[in-house]
């Protein structure tokens, strides 16, 4: 670094002071001009008033274990849903029509632009029990509205709060009513299905009345009894068959005794000798034939008259009894076959009946659950109608704001004044920083290396008087600007000037003078 640069570095503050001294009037005018602009801007920006109401989210007054509400969503989610319903285009247009001044303030040629600006001025702020936790429960929320007039802000905010409260009640009651109606409809459907299942079971039992599972024990006992009866009938048939055989044996034995009679044997031998000797028409042959026939007839008649008729009647009775027993055996076998077929069908019928009963039990269980849920929903509906469930209650109603919410004129004015002083000063310092001209004895000494013998200033009387006039005019303008700025500050931040004037008139008893 050169010696000139080092000297230049150490002389920078002097250059700044020289620049400020050279441009002090321009600096003052610039500061004054920018200060007037800052004060004007801070005072002329239209004020916006905010009116807000606070709504408390009250928990259910009856324990959930006794009555469970049908509205299961959390308060934060429900508030956002209500906000979307309240901030619809139709409802906002109705609210704007209620306050004609809103149309003028919102401006915009298109309705959508006015609706969008209205939504921008509505603020819903949730208040949680623990602001640091994302899952904290919402205990309250604020509804605010910004408007150019305090009364308008309060009126619109009050209507918005009312709309939120009414929409919450309507939505909860509608939700409970819809739930009850839905469950009642499902219960009616399930009741009809239950009746259809009962009818199906009755028809199935009627179609399979002879093969129901509850008749299995009866059919088994009947089958055992029928088989026992069939065995008895077979035994009786066998007995009758044996008796017939016995009676027939008796008849055959009696016939054999008859054929073995001596007289009948002699006549038959004589008949055989004569027929061998003579023709059948011979008198001796015909005589012996007559005697033989008479003997046989007498033998036969005697046998039938005594034992033959008895045995034949017994055989006839036994055969008749045997025929009856055989018909009874056939009937018994048919009954056994029918019972066996019914017993074989019972497992199939039981399987179908189990399936129907299972469907019936399932439908009945669902029906009972729906009935219980319907009763619970009805209680929840009564809970909502009685305002005993979770509800929104107005904690603080919107009031007319006594001061504007924005802009913050103090901060805006302070920042404007600081900027109005800093910007011209920075500009002057920048000019001084880049100024390479030689000014003053020290600068001459740095350039030539020697001190000048004498320093003579510029002598111009006309210019001096003109400078004095300009300085006086500038000071007057500065004082006037400061007075106007002070008046604006007092008017906006302390007390309106008209109110101050009225107080001064009453304080100094100047009513008559004013009149």
Instruction: Please tell me the predicted confidence (pLDDT) of residue 143.
Output: 92
**Percent of the chain beyond pLDDT 90?**
4
- The SS3 call for residue 54 is strand
The rounded distance, in Å, linking the Cα atoms of 326 and 456 is 171
Res 261 pLDDT > 60: no
Select from 139, 157, 53 the least CA-distant residue to 99: 157
What is the average pLDDT across 267-296? 71
Res 142 pLDDT > 80: yes
Q: Which helix (H) or strand (E) covers residue 50, if one does?
A: strand 49-58
- Strands of the sheet containing 138-147, edge to edge, are 122-128, 138-147, 49-58, 391-396
What is the average pLDDT across 204-225? 83
The rounded distance, in Å, linking the Cα atoms of 145 and 51 is 6
pLDDT in tens, 400-428: 888 877 777 677 777 777 877 777 777 77
Query: Residue 160 — pLDDT band, cuts 50, 70, 90?
Result: very high
Res 467 pLDDT > 80: no
Per-domain residue ranges of the chain: 3-45+407-514, 210-377
Select from 120, 54, 58 the least CA-distant residue to 92: 120
More confident residue, 45 or 466: 45
Q: How many residues are there in the chain?
A: 515
The rounded distance, in Å, linking the Cα atoms of 451 and 444 is 7
Res 266 pLDDT > 80: no
C-alpha to C-alpha distances, 303 to 67, 209, 256, 294, 307, nearest whole angstrom: 108, 62, 11, 14, 6
More confident residue, 443 or 188: 188
- The SS3 call for residue 58 is strand
Res 220 pLDDT > 80: yes
73: Cβ–Cβ under 8 A, 6 or more apart, which residues?
A: 81
Query: Residue 510 — pLDDT band, cuts 50, 70, 90?
Result: low
Cβ-count burial of 324 within 10 angstroms (0-12 exposed, 13-18 middle, 19+ buried)?
middle
Can you say how many angstroms the Cα of residue 434 is from the centroid of all Cα atoms in its chain?
Answer: 74
The rounded distance, in Å, linking the Cα atoms of 432 and 429 is 5
What is the average pLDDT across 152-180? 87
Residue 9, both tokens: 């570095």
Give the residue carrying structure tokens 């034995």.
Answer: 253
- Indicate the fold that domain 210-377 takes in CATH: Helix Hairpins (1.10.287)
Measured torsion, CA atoms of residues 212, 213, 219, 224, in degrees rounded to the nearest 10: 160
- Within 13 Å of residue 98, how many CA atoms lie on the same side as its CB? 12
Instruction: Please tell me the predicted confidence (pLDDT) of residue 419.
Output: 79
The rounded distance, in Å, linking the Cα atoms of 398 and 394 is 10
What is the average pLDDT across 279-305? 66
Residue 176, both tokens: 């409970």
Phi–psi pair at 145, nearest 5 degrees: -140, 135
More confident residue, 132 or 232: 232
- The SS3 call for residue 459 is coil
Instruction: Please tell me the predicted confidence (pLDDT) of residue 9.
Output: 44
What is the average pLDDT across 100-129? 83
Instruction: Please tell me the predicted confidence (pLDDT) of residue 290.
Output: 75
On average, the pLDDT of the chain sits at: 75
Phi–psi pair at 391, nearest 5 degrees: -145, 165
| CA distance between the termini of the chain | 79
492 secondary structure, DSSP code: I
Instruction: Please tell me the predicted confidence (pLDDT) of residue 216.
Output: 81
More confident residue, 187 or 314: 187
Res 4 pLDDT > 60: no
Res 161 pLDDT > 80: yes
What is the average pLDDT across 41-55? 81
pLDDT in tens, 342-367: 888 888 888 888 888 888 888 888 88
Query: Residue 468 — pLDDT band, cuts 50, 70, 90?
Result: low
Instruction: Please tell me the predicted confidence (pLDDT) of residue 211.
Output: 77
C-alpha to C-alpha distances, 344 to 56, 224, 233, 354, nearest whole angstrom: 74, 15, 25, 17
Contact 313, 252 (CB under 8 A): no
- The SS3 call for residue 503 is helix
Can you say how many angstroms the Cα of residue 449 is from the centroid of all Cα atoms in its chain?
Answer: 94
Select from 374, 367, 334 the least CA-distant residue to 229: 334
The rounded distance, in Å, linking the Cα atoms of 494 and 490 is 5
Three-state helix/strand/coil letters over 68-98: CCCCCCCHHHHHHHHHHHHCCHHHHHHHHHH
Residue 127, both tokens: 């208040």
Contact 14, 436 (CB under 8 A): no
Query: Residue 6 — pLDDT band, cuts 50, 70, 90?
Result: very low
DSSP string, 125-136: EEEES-TT-TTP
Give the residue carrying structure tokens 């109705």.
Answer: 94
Instruction: Please tell me the predicted confidence (pLDDT) of residue 159.
Output: 92
**Cβ atoms within 10 Å of 503's Cβ, excluding its own:** 11
Instruction: Please tell me the predicted confidence (pLDDT) of residue 7.
Output: 45
What is the average pLDDT across 97-111? 79
Highest mean pLDDT: which range of 42-46, 274-278, 339-343, 456-460: 339-343
Measured torsion, CA atoms of residues 156, 159, 164, 166, in degrees rounded to the nearest 10: -170
Query: Residue 339 — pLDDT band, cuts 50, 70, 90?
Result: confident
Instruction: Please tell me the predicted confidence (pLDDT) of residue 305.
Output: 46
pLDDT in tens, 362-385: 888 888 888 888 888 777 777 777
pLDDT in tens, 179-207: 888 888 888 988 898 888 888 888 888 88
The rounded distance, in Å, linking the Cα atoms of 425 and 212 is 112
């Amino acid at each position: 670094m050169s010696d000139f640069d080092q000297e230049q570095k150490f002389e920078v503050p002097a250059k700044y002071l020289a620049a400020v001294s050279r441009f002090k009037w321009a600096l003052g005018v610039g500061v004054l001009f920018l200060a007037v602009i800052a004060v004007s801007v801070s005072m002329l920006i239209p004020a916006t008033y905010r009116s807000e109401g606070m709504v408390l989210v009250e928990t259910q007054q009856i324990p959930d274990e006794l009555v469970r509400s049908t509205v299961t969503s959390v308060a934060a989610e429900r508030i956002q849903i209500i906000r979307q319903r309240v901030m619809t285009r139709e409802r906002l247009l109705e609210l704007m029509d209620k306050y004609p001044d809103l149309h003028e303030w919102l401006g915009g040629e298109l309705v959508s632009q006015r609706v969008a600006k209205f939504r921008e001025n509505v603020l819903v702020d949730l208040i949680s029990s623990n602001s640091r936790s994302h899952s904290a429960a919402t205990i309250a929320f604020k509804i605010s509205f910004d408007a150019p007039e305090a009364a308008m802000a309060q009126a619109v905010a009050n209507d918005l709060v009312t709309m939120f409260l009414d929409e919450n009640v309507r939505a909860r009651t509608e939700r409970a009513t819809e739930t009850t109606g839905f469950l009642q409809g499902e219960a009616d459907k399930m009741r009809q299905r239950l009746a259809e299942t009962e009818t199906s079971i009755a028809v199935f039992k009627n179609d399979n009345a002879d093969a129901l599972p509850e008749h299995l024990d009866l059919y088994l006992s009947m089958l055992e009894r029928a088989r026992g009866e069939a065995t008895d009938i077979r035994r009786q048939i066998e007995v009758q068959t044996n008796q017939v055989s016995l009676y027939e044996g008796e008849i055959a034995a009696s016939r054999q005794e008859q054929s073995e009679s001596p007289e009948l044997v002699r006549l038959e031998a004589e008949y055989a000798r004569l027929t061998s000797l003579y023709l059948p028409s011979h008198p001796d042959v015909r005589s012996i034939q007559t005697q033989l026939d008479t003997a046989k007839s007498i033998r036969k008649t005697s046998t039938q008259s005594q034992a033959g008729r008895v045995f034949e009647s017994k055989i006839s009775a036994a055969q008749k009894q045997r025929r009856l027993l055989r018909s009874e055996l056939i009937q018994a076998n048919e009954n056994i076959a029918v019972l066996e077929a019914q017993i074989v069908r019972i497992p199939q019928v039981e399987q179908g009946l189990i399936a129907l009963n299972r469907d019936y039990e399932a439908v009945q269980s669902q029906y009972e659950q729906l009935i219980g849920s319907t009763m619970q929903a009805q209680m929840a509906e009564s809970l909502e109608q009685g305002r005993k469930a979770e509800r929104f209650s107005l904690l603080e109603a919107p009031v007319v704001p006594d001061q504007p919410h924005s802009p913050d004129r103090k901060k805006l004015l302070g920042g404007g004044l600081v900027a109005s002083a800093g910007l011209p000063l920075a500009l002057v310092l920048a000019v001084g920083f880049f100024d390479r001209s030689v000014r003053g004895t020290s600068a001459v000494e740095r350039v030539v290396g020697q001190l000048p013998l004498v320093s003579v200033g510029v002598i111009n009387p006309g210019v001096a008087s003109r400078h004095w006039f300009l300085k006086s005019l500038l000071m007057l303008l500065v004082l006037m600007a400061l007075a106007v700025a002070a008046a604006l500050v007092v008017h906006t931040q302390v007390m309106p000037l008209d109110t101050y004037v009225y107080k001064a008139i009453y304080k100094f008893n100047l009513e008559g003078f004013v009149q």
